[in-house]
Structure 1
Amino acid sequence: MARVCTLCGKSPHMSVTRTLLRGKYNPTAKTRKYPNLQWVRIGSGKRVKACTQCIKRMAVTQ
């Protein structure tokens, strides 16, 4: 579970290109979008992977 936020549980999800932008001769496959995870130290000094939204949320509460 390397690409999951330890605080909120955000994980990768599948994404597709809009149907109008593709056609019969230009098919598009599904792509996987990953959350923006960063290493950050929490209050106990432990390093965890957190998404940037959680990092912003922690900065506001402190």
Structure 2
Amino acid sequence: MSRVCELTGKRAMVGNNVSHAMNKTKRKFQVNLLKKRFYIPEEDKWVTLRISAAALKTINKNGISATIKKAREKGYLTK
């Protein structure tokens, strides 16, 4: 399973490690993913999602139902 947020579509970015001598080697910036269970009252069920920490803050701000609806519109969540 790839490290992709199910609600925002965030995935790893590629960049460089830069030494003091300015030598550059490739590296990855991984997403801060969490496995979290949410209760959706409209559907009366629990769902488990792999989401980023930024998506968790968005859920706390807007609510789980609105966030899932927006993710389905953008095509990130197909369940």
TM-score using structure 2 length: 0.61
Which is richer in helix?
2
Distance 1:30 1:39, change over 3 A: same
Runs of 4+ in 1 over 6 A off after TM superposition: none
1:28 to 24, 31, 39: 24
Where does structure 2 lack aligned partners over 5 or more consecutive residues? 64-79
Paired residue total: 58
Alignment partners' CA distance in 1, 2:15 and 2:56: 24
Identity of aligned residues (%): 21
Where does structure 1 lack aligned partners over 5 or more consecutive residues? none
Alignment of 1:2-17 (within 5 A): 2-17=2-17
TM-score using structure 1 length: 0.75
Deviation at 1:28, TM superposition (A): 2.9
When the two chains are superposed, the root-mean-square deviation of aligned CA atoms in Å is: 2.1
2:59 match: secondary structure: helix
